[in-house]
Amino acid sequence: MKKIFKLNNLLFIIPLIIIISYSFIDMYYLSSLNKVYQYHFIKEIIFVIIGFTLMILITYIKPKTLLTFSPYLYYFSIILLILVLFIGNNTNGSKAWFNLFFIKIQPSEITKLTLILYLSYLNHKQQLIYLIRIMIITLIPAILVFLEPDTGAVIIYLLIMLSFIYNKKVKLIYRLIISLIIILFLISTFFLYRAYSKEINHYFNINYRIKRITNINEGYQITNAKTAIGSSNPFSITINKPILYIPEAPTDFIFAFTAANFGFISGLIIIICYFLITLFIIYKKSNSLFTIFFFQVVYNIGFNLGILPIMGIPLPFLSYGGSNIIIYFLLFGIIISMDDNNSYNHNYKHLASY
C-alpha cells in the first residue's frame, strides 16, 4: 500500500480518483435513467475495488517472477481468444466476451497485459530474430481478435508491437529491414484485397469496417454526441432530464455523456486528469503503456467530438467495463512497482524504458 501512495505516485492517484468519481456518477445517473443500466453502478464499484486490490497486490510480486511466467500468461490469453470465437457471447455482431454470472470477461483486454509482458521477456541480443519474434507473437492475437471482429484491439496490439520494434536499443539497420517488411506486407494486403474483394468481404465484412474507419463526422451516434456536448452549459447538471439520447453512453460515448449532462467544464477536468496521468507514465518511462493509454484517450475523445471515425475503443477508467478497468489497474501497478533506485531484471526494465 505504501508503494501506491508514495509522493511521486500522486500525479497518478489524484487524477485517477477524480476520473473514477465521474465514472461512478455517470453510472449512477445512467442507472436511474434506464433499467438497462440499472446494475452498471454497482458493477462499476466492484470492478474498481477488484482492480485497485490487484494493483496493490501486483506491486508485491517480484519483477523476475512476472517475467518468468509471462509466456504462460500469453499462451493462456491466446487460448481464451480461440475459445471466445466458439463459445463467446455474441454482442452487436461481435463474439468477444465470456459471460460469467453477472460479469463479462473480454480476452482481448487481457491480452494487452500478457502481450506487453511477453514482449518484455524476450531476449533482444540477436536483434533481427528478436524483431521477427515480436511480429509473430503480436500477429497471432491480432488475427484472432480481427475474427471477432474487434478492429480497435487489433490497432492497439500493433501499436504495442511498434513500441517495441522502434525502441532505441534496436540498431537502425534492423529497424529499416522490419519497416520494409511491414511496407511490403501492407502493399501485398492491398493488392490481395483488390483481387479478391468479394470473397474477403464475404467472410470478414471488410467493406463495413473500412466504411466505419473512413467515415468521419457522420452517423447517428456522432451527431447526437456532438449535439449533446454543444447544447450543454459550462456547469450544467441535468438530473433526470438528459439533454439528448447518446447511444453506447456507458462505454464508447461516456465522455460525451459526461460533458453533456454535467457541463463541459467536467469534460475539461477529465482531459486535464488524463494529461496528468500521461505525464506520470512519461515520468515512469513506460513507452508501451504510454502508447496504448495515450492512443485510447486521444482516439476516444476524438470520435466523441466528431474529429475521428468511430471505433470500439473505451476511455480508460471512465468507460464502463470490468476487463478494461482491471487490466489498466494491473498495468499501472506494474510500473508503480518499478523503482529507479532498485535493481531489477534487465528485461523487466525494458518494459519501462526504451
Question: What gap in Å lies between CA 237 and CA 235, rounded to an integer?
Answer: 7
Residue 132 lies in a domain: yes
Residue 107 lies in a domain: yes
Residue 1 lies in a domain: no
Closest C-alpha among 280, 267, 283, 350 to residue 315: 267
Question: What gap in Å lies between CA 73 and CA 77, rounded to an integer?
Answer: 6
State the pLDDT at residue 353.
45
* Owning domain of residue 222: 7-352
Question: What gap in Å lies between CA 226 and CA 246, rounded to an integer?
Answer: 10
| C-alpha cell read off for 305 | 467530438
Taking the mean position of all CA atoms in its chain, how far away is CA 264? Answer: 24
- Give the tens place of pLDDT for each residue, 257-272: 898 888 888 999 999 9
DSSP state of 36: G
Amino acid identity of residue 320, one-letter, is Y
Structural domain total, the chain = 1
**Spans of the chain below 50 pLDDT:** 340-350, 352-354
Residue 51 lies in a domain: yes
Are the C-beta atoms of 251 and 319 separated by less than 8 Å?
A: yes
- Give the tens place of pLDDT for each residue, 150-160: 888 999 999 99
State the pLDDT at residue 343.
40
Residue 178 lies in a domain: yes
